[in-house]
Amino acid sequence: MNLLEAMEQRHAIRAYTDEPVDQAVLDILRAEIDACNQESGLHIQMAAGLDDAFLGLKTHYGRFTGVHNAIALIGRPACVGATDGTAPNDATAAWHKAAAADEAATDAGEITLQERVGYYGERLALRAVQLGLETSWAVLDDADTAEHPWWCLHPGEKIVWVLAFGHGARPGGRRRSKPIEELCRIPDGMTMPDWFRAGMEAAMLAPTSLSQQPFLFTLHEDGTVSAEATEGLFAHVGLGCAKYHFEVGAGRDRVVWR
């Protein structure tokens, strides 16, 4: 299955069977996580075969059952303490308060982290789908204070997003999308190039919190592309997911980010 097929095939699956994931498949996923961590500086970790990989914690929304395997998307805000002089732990606490209140990230380091989590998390989700598994993104409330977590947080790091994965207990639902015209802009009078359309069609398959698709891609006169988050829950993570999809759909060599 190629990545475009994996995008079509992927759905948020919230119920899993007890069938264990093959060791060989877990090894491939672990290698992909190592590669993502190397490239991104994130501290992504994985657990498999647990009774409850979500540790009884509440998810931000949605009911999950049989989650035996998960990937914890962990990182540190890119410039914690550097932009506003806040100590890492204060910044982390402030972030958790904002997340609980569903406020959008405003700190530059936080925005960079969230977009990076989206980009690399979605790369892992699609790899899992290619390996015959189902996945779902989820936000675990109070994950940073969980007792006996299977992940480890270094100073200044935080975990909020997780990916459940495994053998799905039921098929995914129908996907809906905003029309392409609402999600991108091209210069006046230009016909949308095929590569840009292919990128957008892939981006439209990306998961976003509550399916809000809070992103806008712009093709500029000089052929470069920019992408920004619009209003929505955890918009910067969704933007990161959509940017990964866009690159795959358009062809990585074609896309020059502005």
Ligand X SMILES: Cc1cc2nc3c(=O)[nH]c(=O)nc-3n(C[C@H](O)[C@H](O)[C@H](O)COP(=O)(O)O)c2cc1C
- CB under 8 Å to 60, separation ≥6 — which residues? 138, 139, 140, 141, 209
SS3 of residue 1 by DSSP: coil
Choice between 1 and 210, CB closer to ligand X: 210
Separation CA 45–CA 42 (nearest Å): 9
Closest distance to ligand X from the beta carbon of 167 (Å):
17
- Which one of the spans 15-23, 49-57, 60-68, 246-254 is the region binding ligand X (CB under 6 A)? 60-68
Does position 82 interact with ligand X (CB under 6 A)? The reply is: no
String of b and e for 222-255 (b: at least 16 CB within 10 Å)? eeebebebeebbbbbbbbbbbbbbbbbbbeeebb
Binding mask 140-169 for ligand X (x = CB under 6 A): ---------------------x--------
Choice between 65 and 211, CB closer to ligand X: 211
DSSP class of residue 103 equals: P
Q: Quick check: 164 and 70 in contact, CB under 8 A?
A: yes
Does position 100 interact with ligand X (CB under 6 A)? The reply is: no
Closest distance to ligand X from the beta carbon of 240 (Å):
9
DSSP secondary structure letters along 176-221:
----HHHHEE--TTPPPPHHHHHHHHHHTTS--GGG---EEEEE-T
Does position 12 interact with ligand X (CB under 6 A)? The reply is: yes
Q: Which residue is nearest to ligand X (CB)?
A: 62
Structure-token pair, residue 50 = 């647990």
Does position 66 interact with ligand X (CB under 6 A)? The reply is: no
- Which one of the spans 25-33, 53-61, 183-191, 217-225 is the region binding ligand X (CB under 6 A)? 53-61
- Residue from 237, 242, 250, 255 that binds ligand X (CB under 6 A)? 237
Q: Of 116, 109, 111, 133, whose CA–CA distance to 36 is shortest? A: 116
- Residue from 7, 14, 78, 165 that binds ligand X (CB under 6 A)? 14
CA 64, 67, 72, 73 torsion-angle sign: negative
Binding mask 207-226 for ligand X (x = CB under 6 A): xxxxx---------------
Q: Which residues bind ligand X (CB under 6 A)?
A: 11-12, 14, 59-62, 136-139, 161, 172, 175, 207-211, 234, 237-238, 241
